[in-house]
Amino acid sequence: MAITIKKANMPKTDRGKENAPAAERRGATRERGTAIIAIAAIAAVSAAIGYTIHDACERRRISEAREACDSAIVELSGAANGYTSLLEADGTTAASQLEPNDVKDLKTIDSLKKAMLAGNPAAMKCDASKAVELNSTAAKARKETETMKANTEALNTAVKAVESSKLDKTVDDASQLLNDSSGKVQDPKTRDELAKAIETRDSETIGKAMKTVGESMTAKKKADEEEARRKAEQEAAAQAEAQARAAQQTQRSHSNGWNGSTRSQSRAYSNSQNHPQQSQTNSGSPKPNWNTDSPAGGNHAITGGDNTDHGHCTPGAVCIGGTCNTCP
């Protein structure tokens, strides 16, 4: 009996490998190595391209951040310059030099002083090398810009408040002057102009009107003083004239009385000479003593025993104070 042996069914690949020559196997190995190298090269190129793309994007982000930062710094600089310009303006300077009695509301001056102390922000630069740092600087600059704008607005408001308070004080002073000047001006029209100026609430117009009223008041006061001086001089002259007339009248009265006394004394002397005994008897006085020791020799004083002047003189003489004086 014949025996038949069958080969087992083997996979083709295995059979191919098993049967493939060595040269073919080496070729396949080379192909696999080439594929690996190609894949590595592709990966390297891809990485390089990715890095290049990332670097380009980062540079773009930095550039954009720097541009935004520079813009924020420029805006901040403009806000700071605006505040400085207002701080140094003539209006601000004039308002800051006002005294408390120049304004109606003292609080306005305090607010102005506070607003003038705000100051400028610290200097900033966009010199960072990273976008995140540049963005941070830009944010700070924008915040400072808002602060400077607020400070500028506050300063402007404070200046206007002081100016308004000064105008209120000017109007009050002008109104007071209008009341006080009633009947005290040389030209009443000046007061009419002042009243009109007050209604305008224009400080310059009011100031001019007040100056005109003040000058008119000064002129009126000077004229009144001159008139008072003139009247005083007239009254003094009239009084002096009246006193002079009174003195003359008194002098004439004394002169008339003097002459009458002289005549009476002369008659009394004549009577005493003609009736010496009768005079002595009637008077009851001691016999008078005749003193003829006068240096002039023609003047005689007569006194009685009681040392009393009896007014008797020699003819042609007048008895004055107990002494006989020769009449001229």
- pLDDT single digits (tens) 59-88: 899 999 999 999 999 999 999 999 999 999
Average pLDDT score, the chain: 78
Choice among 120-129, 188-197, 199-208 with the minimum mean pLDDT: 120-129
- Whose CA is closest to 321, among 305, 295, 301, 293? 301
Choice among 169-173, 204-208, 309-313 with the minimum mean pLDDT: 309-313
pTM listed for this prediction: 0.54
More confident residue, 135 or 290: 135
What's the angle, vertex CA 185, arms to CA 180 and CA 191, rounded to 5? 70
- In the chain, the N- to C-terminal Cα span, in Å, equals 232
Convert the pLDDT of each residue in 93-113 to its tens digit: 999 999 999 999 999 999 999
Rounded to the nearest 10°, the torsion over CA 238, 240, 241, 245 is 140
Strand runs (DSSP E) across 257-328, as ranges?
Answer: 289-291, 301-303, 317-320, 323-326
Q: How far is CA 215 from CA 181, 219, 220, in A?
A: 11, 6, 9
Choice among 3-7, 97-101, 103-107, 191-195 with the minimum mean pLDDT: 3-7
Strand 323-326 relative to strand 317-320: parallel, antiparallel, unpaired?
A: antiparallel
Choice among 155-164, 184-193, 298-307 with the minimum mean pLDDT: 298-307
Burial class (CB in 10 A: 0-12, 13-18, 19+), 30: exposed
Stretch 140-163: mean pLDDT, rounded? Answer: 96
